[in-house]
Amino acid sequence: MNINIKISDKPLNPSDANNFVTNEACGGIVTFIGTARKFTKGKEVLRLEFEAYEPMAIKEMTKIAEQIMVRFPAKKVAIHHRIGIVGLKEIAVVIAVACPHRKAAFEACEFAIDTLKQTVPIWKKEVFEDGEIWVAAHP
């Protein structure tokens, strides 16, 4: 299998994605790691809370990986997403793409995270000292 998709309520380890995509045919692996940032628009975030419509999220993440295989010369793709409570600096998402050469790997990885943010049914809540907001909910 050349695609590895995971949703987990446990901390993610980027090595899992990296190790999965490493292969002899590829000389370039690009790994994107999305982490919980302390400030959003100048406001201090205490933690993030992610919720997923899990079976469909897995399907949509798989579609992204399949698209990558078609659109780029990628050999292996891993997409891992955390759900539940995610503390500052902790990893929310890991995407690793292996291609024979680096340029395509960079492009494919960017395509993956951009598409994930548009299509995968996962929701992120930012929790502040004085309230909370669902990210991107309102225009």
Partner 1 sequence: MILKLTAFGIAKDILGKRVLEIELKNDSKIADLKAILLNQYPDFSKLANLTFAVDEAYQNDDFLLSANQEIVIIPPVAGG
User: What is the contact surface with partner 1 in residues (CB under 8 A)?
Assistant: 34, 50-53, 55-57, 59, 81, 92-93, 113, 116-125, 134-139
Dmax (CA) for the chain in angstroms is 51
What is the Cα 62 distance to its own chain's centre? Answer: 12
- Retrieve residue 133's tokens: 């907001």
The nearer residue to partner 1, 30 or 92, going by C-beta atoms, is: 92
**Rounded-to-integer distance, Cα 73 and Cα 28, Å:** 11
The nearer residue to partner 1, 47 or 125, going by C-beta atoms, is: 125
Q: Which amino acid is at 1?
A: M
Query: Shortest Cβ distance from residue 25 to partner 1 (Å)?
Result: 28
The nearer residue to partner 1, 25 or 127, going by C-beta atoms, is: 127
Quick check: helix, strand or coil at residue 59?
helix
Q: What is the DSSP letter of 101?
A: S
The nearer residue to partner 1, 75 or 81, going by C-beta atoms, is: 81
Query: Shortest Cβ distance from residue 98 to partner 1 (Å)?
Result: 20
Query: Shortest Cβ distance from residue 48 to partner 1 (Å)?
Result: 10
Query: Shortest Cβ distance from residue 34 to partner 1 (Å)?
Result: 5
CB neighbours (10 Å) of residue 104? 20
Q: What is the DSSP letter of 76?
A: E
